[in-house]
Amino acid sequence: MLDPRASPSPLDFPNPSLYPFNEKRMSENDEGMDLTGEEVTAQVKKGRWIRRHWVSLVAIISILVFSAGIYFMGGLSGDLWGYGYLGVFLISILGSVVILVPIPSLPVVFLMGMILNPWLVGLMVGLGEPIGEIPPYIAGYSGRASMEKRRFYVKLKDWMRRRGSLVLFFFAWTPNPAFDLAGAAAGALHYPFWKYLLMLFLGKTVKGWIIAFAGYWTLRLLLHFLIG
């Protein structure tokens, strides 16, 4: 019979250092318990979104790298006219994604509308610019775009909750430097990715048509004034 007054044996309290795997597992479990249910759900959704759209993301990144390579190596900027509709497409991507180096995409669209079919020029804008506007959406979706302290951004998110499609279309068809905030708000609210691209395509195409036809009719008016 055990004596309750007897001193405890060292075997009753095993040395934790002898069980490093269990100790590591316990520490990992403790760290996992710090996450709330909402945070775990958000991480799972991010992983699903990346797995679902990884092919599209790889293709888009490849297009961006290719476009940047052509532009900064001097090919596109030096002989833009020779690229035609492809040049409009590439310059539209770069004009919406490159921030540090200003790229005159809208003047290019205006000039190309003079010499090319303005309907197709506007269509190239609608296809190119949405690709360049994907990074703000991803930043907002992943939570890296922390702009909750900006009053306009908070108001913009409220508009997106109520009229998301109309807000995106409006910001897309107008030459608006604040569109990155709209894209980040759409991502933060988990606005459907395909719908985001669709609204941008519609709005950017309308904007491209307006600018391209402005160039088209400007040239016609000048020729009519000069030639008669």
39-80 pLDDT, tens digit each:
555 555 555 555 555 545 555 555 555 555 555 545 444 455
Which sign does the torsion angle of CA 99, 101, 104, 105 carry?
A: negative
| pLDDT value of residue 136 | 85
Q: To which residue do tokens 């052509």 refer?
A: 70
Q: Convert the pLDDT of each residue in 161-216 to its tens digit.
A: 888 889 899 999 988 777 888 888 888 888 899 899 999 999 999 999 999 999 99
Residue of 164, 173, 102 lying closest to 137 (CA atoms): 164
Count of C-beta atoms within a 10 Å radius of residue 41? 11
Rounded to the nearest angstrom, the gap between the alpha carbon of residue 17 and the centroid of all alpha carbons in its chain is 48
| pLDDT value of residue 18 | 47
Q: Is the pLDDT of residue 112 over 60?
A: yes
Q: What angle do CA 113, 197, 55 make, to 5 degrees?
A: 110
Rounded to the nearest angstrom, the gap between the alpha carbon of residue 185 and the centroid of all alpha carbons in its chain is 11
Which conformational region is residue 221 in: left (phi greater than 0), alpha (psi within -120 to 50 degrees), or beta? alpha
Between 84-97 and 105-115, two packed helices, what is the crossing angle to 10 degrees? 160
DSSP category for residue 10: G
Taking the C-alpha atoms of residue 135 and residue 130, their distance in angstroms, rounded to an integer, is: 10
Angstrom CA distances, 155 to 10, 171, 183, stand at 64, 14, 14
Residue 201 class from Cβ within 10 Å (0-12 exposed, 13-18 middle, 19+ buried)?
buried
Taking the C-alpha atoms of residue 149 and residue 220, their distance in angstroms, rounded to an integer, is: 49
Q: Is the pLDDT of residue 218 over 80?
A: yes
Taking the C-alpha atoms of residue 75 and residue 71, their distance in angstroms, rounded to an integer, is: 6
